[in-house]
Amino acid sequence: MNKTICPQVSFDFKHRFLPPVYILVFIVGLVANGWGLKSLLQNWEKLKIINVFVLNLGLTDVLYLLTLPFLVVYYFMKSKWIFGEAFCKITRFCFNVNLYGSIGFLTCISVYRYLAIVHPVKMMGRITVTHSVIISVMVWVLVSAQSLPDIFFTKTYRNNTEKCYVSTGNTYVEEYLKYSLGWTLTGFCIPFIITLGCYGHMAVVLWTLKRTDKVLRQRSLKLLLILILLFSVCYIPYHVLRNLNLWTRVLTKQGICHKWYNGVYIARQISHGLVCLNSALNPLVYLHGHEDVPAQLRKQLQQVRQMFNRWFLSNPSRRPLARTVDEL
């Protein structure tokens, strides 16, 4: 440790790593969310409470996915932002709304599942679609309020469009670290504890009560595994490494140097790529959060298989030739 100027962190890794991740997430996420939202809208008359949360979850994903092409251009151009400071802040705002909106609506789904399974008699008729719409609006407002201070931090380099920071420049990095820690507590830690508590108790109930419907048990446990996957892969590494990277920047600004800073930066970029995967993984919730979607998926796959069989039978040249005795 010394008080001299710290060596420059290498920024080359993010230019190689992030563009392919963004392209993959954009293609898979747009197709998966488009199909999921279409299936929900087609069954709007059958809309149930949990499907309102699933619909809003899909909308947060689409909002962020539409900004990814601009970020691909940005990183392909070696972090040269050409779309203006205002759009830079809009892009980062959409990312934050997607991230914390996803966490918020996944928490709502978890609480609803918990109440429906653990307290079915008490909750019967007390939570309506209107209630779920009001709760969804509250989630949007809360997430926007949490994300709004972020846009007031400097996002571009020296008032030009050379950079588009995910956080902010070094001038206000100390203040941003404090904001990030509070944001992590309210936007991630509290919802995570609620989700963990709901599914932990629900798992115990499902395994101990023999009279619980087998299909409901399997669906709920699969949803639990999906949420564990989302939090473990996407959300936990991102929040830990975001704050750790900001802390290393504060130390670097103070002239305190360590060799592991560059490793933290690379891990931070990997976690940023992983957290973007939530927009492609969230549609897995459609399979278990919306009762009609699995049946629709099986029906569509069956139609594709029948179409292929008809095409195969209508083309004699595609049929395998019968083998002769000599060939056997």
The tokens describing 90, both together, are 């809009």
Tracing tokens 């619980």 back to the chain, one arrives at 212
97: closest CA among 283, 286, 288, 278? Answer: 278
The answer, yes or no, to whether residue 89 has pLDDT greater than 90, is: yes
pLDDT at residue 2, as a whole number = 45
Distances (CA, A) of 196 to 40, 120, 188, 306: 27, 20, 12, 43
Q: pLDDT tens across 250-301, in order?
A: 999 888 888 888 899 999 999 999 999 988 888 877 666 554 544 554 554 4
84 conformational bin, left if phi > 0, alpha if psi -120 to 50, beta if neither: left
Domain-by-domain residue ranges, the chain? Answer: 12-148+156-300
Residue 25, pLDDT score: 94
Q: What is the DSSP letter of 231?
A: I
- Which pLDDT belongs to residue 1? 42
* Residue partners of 58: CB distance under 8 A and separation at least 6: 33, 36, 37, 40, 282, 283, 286
Cα 230 to the center of its chain, rounded Å: 7
Please report which confidence band the pLDDT of residue 150 belongs to, taking 50, 70 and 90 as the band edges. very high
Which residue do the tokens 């802040």 mark?
89
Measured CA to CA, the distance from residue 164 to residue 170 in angstroms comes to: 13
- 108, 136 in Cβ contact below 8 A? yes
How many angstroms separate the Cα of 235 from the Cα of each of 103, 145, 240, 242, 244? 9, 20, 9, 11, 14
Summarised one tens digit per residue, pLDDT across range 98-139 is: 999 999 999 998 888 888 888 877 776 677 888 889 999 999
Domain boundaries 12-148+156-300, corresponding CATH code: 1.20.1070.10
Give the angle 259-261-263 at the CA atoms, nearest 5°: 95
Q: For residue 120, what is the DSSP state?
A: H
CA atoms of 256 and 234, how far apart (whole Å): 30
Q: Which stretches within 119-235 are classed as H helix?
A: 120-123, 129-147, 173-184, 190-208, 214-229
Q: Average pLDDT of 8-34?
A: 88
Check residue 164 and report its DSSP letter.
-
Q: Is the pLDDT of residue 327 over 50?
A: no
Share above pLDDT 70 across residues of the chain, in percent, rounded to a whole number: 78
Strand (E) or helix (H) holding 210: none
| The two structure tokens encoding residue 74 | 């940005």
**d(Cα 286, Cα 72) in Å, to the nearest integer?**
27
